[in-house]
Amino acid sequence: MSLWDGQNVAVGGWHTAEPKLRGHGMRENQLPALGGKSFEALKQTNLHDAEYWSARDLQPLLGYSQWRRFEQAIERAITSCKQSGNDPDHHFAGAGKMVELGSGSAREVADYHLSRFACYLIAQNGDPRKPEIASAQKYFAVQARRQELSDQVTADIERLELRKQTGEEFKALSGAAQQAGVQNQMFGVFHDAGYKGLYGGLSRDDIKSRKHIPAKDNLMDRMNATELAANQFRMTQTRDKLARDSIHDQQQAIRTHEQVGKEVRDAIKRIGGTPPESIPPAEHIKDVEKRIKTATPKLELDERDAGGLLGDAGDKKKGGKP
């Protein structure tokens, strides 16, 4: 049985495959559709009855306007494939693709046929600044064929991704606060207001003191995934409310941030969650990042998946059942 068994579904205008990964819990992640075409809709079948994707088709879906840049991501993915202990020839096949020119004529351009595993590797090696790549990485992060990753490494990756997203949201909220009339010298008060709402009146420094976090540490670097998610939600909701209510007053913006924090805190209470100030400090995120970077797990695919573009022919080469 393949590592993934799924079907294509649409959620809120986005398209996603809902595969099942053996040994791991699933969460819903999504890849954006391109002109009505989803990732799964771009899938084709070759002579070996194996699924594949055209790199040229995948390129715009992942946010690349230049083939040269996208090909660099493919080359990095090929290197990752080798390092993972899998044969790149089974997952990346050079090919040509006919494209129409403005004059009505056509010419052949370079292309690759990619296995599903290859698409996963390209997403992991793409430009993370592109929102399409970020979405693809989330989509594949849990759902990809990654039996080699322990639960701890999976949790590390999820927490690191959340930390990056929360950092970006902090910057976005600061920009929204400035638009709402918060002066630079009051940014500390503005952000503390959100913490006070969410943490039952505790400021950032109070939280650090309560959790025995060194003063030099960034508070978010010591939050676990649950605490990061709560803070990210607080910030996104505050940013949206500042814009929705057309707030242009410094004191009103500060009060709004604190009130949103209180609302998030109340929601946590209602569902029986742990108050954020009672969540123990997590390992510093830099240590987590180092551990992920130094880990070189072997990506063990089942016979069908390891065959990639060869499909059943790959199984037979390895002595698998015909």
List, for residues 200-254, the tens digit of each pLDDT value: 999 999 999 999 999 999 999 999 999 999 999 999 999 999 999 999 999 999 9
129 and 18 inside one domain: yes
| pLDDT, tens only, 287-314 | 999 888 776 555 556 566 666 777 765 5
* Total domains present in the chain: 2
Q: Is residue 52 part of a domain?
A: yes
Task: Tell me the backbone φ, ψ of residue 216, rounded to 5 degrees.
Answer: -75, -20
Q: Is residue 198 part of a domain?
A: yes
127 and 205 inside one domain: no
What's the mean pLDDT in 171-200? Answer: 96
Q: Is residue 322 part of a domain?
A: no
18 and 73 inside one domain: yes
pLDDT of residue 207: 98
Q: Is residue 46 part of a domain?
A: yes
139 and 177 inside one domain: no
275 and 305 inside one domain: no
183 and 233 inside one domain: yes
The highest-confidence range among 11-15, 22-26, 266-270, 310-314, by mean pLDDT, is 266-270
User: Against a cut of 0.75, is the pTM above it?
Assistant: no
160 and 289 inside one domain: yes
Q: Is residue 189 part of a domain?
A: yes
271 and 303 inside one domain: no
Rounded distance, CA 210 to CA 219, Å? 12
58 and 138 inside one domain: yes
Q: Is residue 3 part of a domain?
A: no
191 and 289 inside one domain: yes
Q: Is residue 128 part of a domain?
A: yes
Rounded distance, CA 81 to CA 76, Å? 9
145 and 225 inside one domain: no
Q: Is residue 171 part of a domain?
A: yes
Rounded distance, CA 48 to CA 172, Å? 48
12 and 67 inside one domain: yes
Domain range for 91 is: 8-149+298-317
